[in-house]
Amino acid sequence: MAASSNRNLAQVQRRVAELHHGTDPEQQLCFYDGWAPEYEQDVGVLEYQAPRLAAACLASAFQGPLEDALVLDVACGTGLVAQELQATGFHRFHGLDGSQEMLACAGKKGLYQELKRCLLGQEVLPAPEGCYDAVLIVGALSEGQVPISIVPELLRVTKPGGYLCLTTRDNQTNLRYKTELQQLMDELEQRGLWEKVVVQEVEKWERATSGQESTQGLDYISGVVYLYRKKRRSE
């Protein structure tokens, strides 16, 4: 998926550890600005698979012609998700991210018809209600990154009948966040706003960035891909 790297695992782990220590959103985005040029190499070292897994999950369930579907990639970073989606047959992408440098890298891929800066969780999404056939947020729903309050906004901009694909991680420092996310997703389902299509638990999600982060003593952390479908009024 990602380009080969001259950096070793220890160097990448040190860099990612800086990210997990920050809590202020502006600081986090400055961190991503600085990481953008080496992001793809580094996540290659971490064996980060979330973009490929999310794209495959969405493509396998999506109803209708993939090439016509308008997809919103939230927290798009350097564009790995659109790259993976394009390989499955999707072609129409809009992207949002809070880091200008990440957006600049995504722009160079030439895959997105629209890229906008947005502070996720602080601003409403710059899109009208019900305009996307599919909305994804990959690698950004975790402690210290995008708050779970984004989820109703993701639903708002999705077309009735459209799909939402979300990922999160299972490492120790993310367990509280993941529990709150699941509670919110269940509540939205109970209110009849969306329905669960797939929950894919992945044991080797990516390499752990510290012993404390690893799952059951493995060198990897686990993660989850969730796929939901927004209900139509008549359903």
Ligand X SMILES: C[S@@+](CC[C@H](N)C(=O)[O-])C[C@H]1O[C@@H](n2cnc3c(N)ncnc32)[C@H](O)[C@@H]1O
Residues in touch with ligand X (CB under 6 A):
25, 28-29, 32, 50-51, 75-77, 80-81, 97-99, 102, 119-121, 138-140, 145-146
Residue 214 contacts residue 220 (beta carbons within 8 Å): yes
- Is the Cβ of residue 19 or residue 131 nearer to ligand X in the bound state? 19
Chain-centroid distance of CA 227 in Å reads 12
Q: In the bound complex, what is the minimum distance in angstroms from residue 96's beta carbon to ligand X?
A: 7
- Is the Cβ of residue 24 or residue 216 nearer to ligand X in the bound state? 24
- Is the Cβ of residue 15 or residue 217 nearer to ligand X in the bound state? 15
Residue 165 contacts residue 136 (beta carbons within 8 Å): yes
Q: In the bound complex, what is the minimum distance in angstroms from residue 177's beta carbon to ligand X?
A: 13
Positive or negative, the Cα torsion across 70, 79, 81, 164?
negative
- Is the Cβ of residue 9 or residue 193 nearer to ligand X in the bound state? 9
- Is the Cβ of residue 121 or residue 161 nearer to ligand X in the bound state? 121
Chain-centroid distance of CA 170 in Å reads 14
**Residue owning tokens 């927290």:** 75
Q: In the bound complex, what is the minimum distance in angstroms from residue 104's beta carbon to ligand X?
A: 11
Q: In the bound complex, what is the minimum distance in angstroms from residue 41's beta carbon to ligand X?
A: 12
- d(Cα 178, Cα 171) in Å, to the nearest integer? 9
For 169, other C-beta atoms within 10 Å of its C-beta total 24
Q: In the bound complex, what is the minimum distance in angstroms from residue 57's beta carbon to ligand X?
A: 13
- Is the Cβ of residue 143 or residue 189 nearer to ligand X in the bound state? 143
Q: Which residues of 184-223 are buried (b: 16+ CB within 10 A; e: fewer)?
A: ebeebeeeeebeebeeeebeebbbbbeeebbbeeeebbbb
For the chain, strand residue ranges (E) read 70-74, 92-97, 112-117, 132-137, 158-169, 194-207, 220-230
Q: In the bound complex, what is the minimum distance in angstroms from residue 5's beta carbon to ligand X?
A: 15
